[in-house]
Structure 1
């Protein structure tokens, strides 16, 4: 009996040992399948490294409702940047715009609204009236503007998108991946406008003496401290989100479509982002002002060598598990300092690579100022500098 019991104990212990050895692989396999989401479609992309990380029905068409305003915003910014319109221009408000359903900017028919406020109305207030007024101002009618929206979508490579309105409806269709393409184009081409998407509120004078304060309709920017935008959507009891984040240099765009409640939409987007965060690490290379190396000094009354330092905090994002020792640092620029250089002047750049891929460029700067010397000493330094440049050329040629 004792031998039989001992044998069963040994078998159980062996099984436990095998399971414990397999747990890391089972966890990895589960993670590799991606997060469990209730939304009908989703897409996750690391914009910092250019990697597609996750997709669920990412090419399937769904009604996107007011997410159509992202394309309206894209076109408005494009026209502003090209000089076709100015933020100081004023657009006349039509009755069609005035009758738009909520959410609205409360534009009043017959008055004029600055383009700047239309931009804020699209990105912050998600105003249906702002979208309609933008369409009518830029192309004369919503019908003509919708044609332009579909043309822009085709040019961007959005293969599963059909716009029918500038502000969104049940007929406006797109996919999670197509909305990512639009979001990436918007943030890549016009990064200076991304700040509008994270503003918590805007003010607008609907008429003299009557100012309204409009809150940002995208709750994601309040709930996530790393949010950089972009837009939430809803309609027919379906909830969507196009989110962009930057967490310590880890940059993602995540899209979820057709969650059944706002809370499920929030849960899905967080699970999606955590899945992304868990695959990457941030390696801190140097702090701003930290020494990079020493440079020789020529044609100056101040003798060398002199310390040169990193201009900014330097960090890179890699896949989890990459050791810092595998990073390659390659310097390009001057390897010496000349008289007349001032503290803070850029001298060159440290390029940081992993597996041949450039991760970041880190400028280095002078840490002190150098007065220019003239006459005989300058002539001697000129000769020395010629030999130094020849040496650097030969060294770089063999590098």
Structure 2
């Protein structure tokens, strides 16, 4: 089987940019200044849609995540709810262990019964350690067993520098994560659980006649910020995960180990403003959208649409979109039968020699073999290809 490589001048969404690139003046493009200096032990700024990393420092170092741990507590609870293992109106009996958990609290009382949806709000908005333990015990029997569940979900998400020992983020030996892993987790919550993600933008919650404000000051400071979680212990310092959406672009910022509440908010604002100011995101293709067509031999049809199994987003410095170059490699001859899971080529995007994307192309339909006469005719024609 041969590979044919060509410039993708026929790609419908890239046609205009590729033609326009001949008129572009690279020298006139605005420069991109270096990312703001961040006084944190580790940080990362990621585009949510493309996964492109815009800025980072020590992003893979294992650090104490403090209450940012509760993002995984929430992810595990959301996942079990979606499986139908629990329901939001299930009642949870508060154990003495949950009630006695120190640190930030929702102020649930031992022996009382509290709905899961209330505990989720207490965990997310009030950062309640007592709520986190109550949810963990209800979900897995014990907090230790729940931590094993957390680690399994972390493994599935590709969090390579993470290990959880509890559901709260209180200091514990061998309890750690990294800025990159936390960004992966935040993106998974936003993508997989939009019905719950909205809770992270709620500014206050009242339980047991006690009203507590969300500790994420970015919710008041920047209207584009809609989450996601703070954390603080003496060992971890002041930590903050934020997500903001402006237009079609969403950024996720993670800072670990800053010196104060103000410092983490100031650094987050600087990173977000820089990212939105100097970069742009584009959806080049939706999942399942035709990218091109290929000649199909010995099938029920002769033209086969090809596309991607996932949406293709690119993030690049502003003003560079028209400079993108696209190439495509297709297997040839392409012979029926074909199925949507059969990779039959690759689409590559580059910008000024740097790779932006390299994805496999797949048939957008299952095509069976054609009739005997068609197969015989195509067999003869293929001799001359």
Normalized against structure 2, the TM-score is what? 0.65
Give how far 1:275 is off. 2.1
Q: Secondary structure at the match of 2:101?
A: coil
Give how far 1:149 is off. 1.1
Q: Residue 170 and residue 102 in structure 1: after superposition, are their counterparts in 2 closer, same or farther (change >3 A)? A: closer
Give the gaps of 5 or more residues in structure 2: 1-26, 283-313, 325-348, 358-385
Give how far 1:281 is off. 4.7
Distance in 2 (CA, whole Å) between partners of 1:319 and 1:153 is 31
Distance in 2 (CA, whole Å) between partners of 1:107 and 1:160 is 33
Q: Residue 323 and residue 182 in structure 1: after superposition, are their counterparts in 2 closer, same or farther (change >3 A)? A: closer
Q: How does 1:134-283 map onto structure 2 within 5 Å?
A: 134-171=135-172, 172-204=175-207, 206=208, 211-236=209-234, 238-281=237-280
Which residue of the partner structure matches residue 7 of structure 2? none
Give the gaps of 5 or more residues in structure 1: 1-23, 284-315, 327-352, 358-399
- The structure whose Rg is larger is 1
Distance in 2 (CA, whole Å) between partners of 1:56 and 1:354 is 25
Distance in 2 (CA, whole Å) between partners of 1:265 and 1:317 is 25
Map Cα deviations across residues 112-168 of structure 1 (whole Å, 9 max, x no partner).
100010111111111000000000000011111111111211121111111111011
Give how far 1:277 is off. 1.2
Contact 2:125 / 2:203 at 8 angstroms: preserved in 1?
A: yes
Q: Secondary structure at the match of 1:45?
A: strand
Which residue of the partner structure matches residue 121 of structure 2? 120
Map Cα deviations across residues 38-94 of structure 1 (whole Å, 9 max, x no partner).
101001111133322111000001111111111000111111112111001011101
Distance in 1 (CA, whole Å) between partners of 2:320 and 2:165 is 47
Q: Which runs of 4+ in 1 moved over 6 A?
A: 323-326, 353-357
Distance in 1 (CA, whole Å) between partners of 2:317 and 2:192 is 26
Give how far 1:319 is off. 3.9
- Using CA pairs under 8 Å that are at least 6 residues apart, name the structure with larger relative contact order, 1 or 2: 2
The structure where helix makes up a greater share of residues is: 1
Contact 1:249 / 1:317 at 8 angstroms: preserved in 2?
A: no
Which residue of the partner structure matches residue 92 of structure 2? 91
Q: How does 1:294-373 map onto structure 2 within 5 Å?
A: 319-322=317-320
Give how far 1:106 is off. 0.6
Distance in 1 (CA, whole Å) between partners of 2:253 and 2:58 is 14
Distance in 1 (CA, whole Å) between partners of 2:197 and 2:42 is 25
Give how far 1:323 is off. 7.1
**Structural RMSD (CA):** 2.8
Higher mean C-alpha deviation, range 269-278 or range 177-186: 269-278
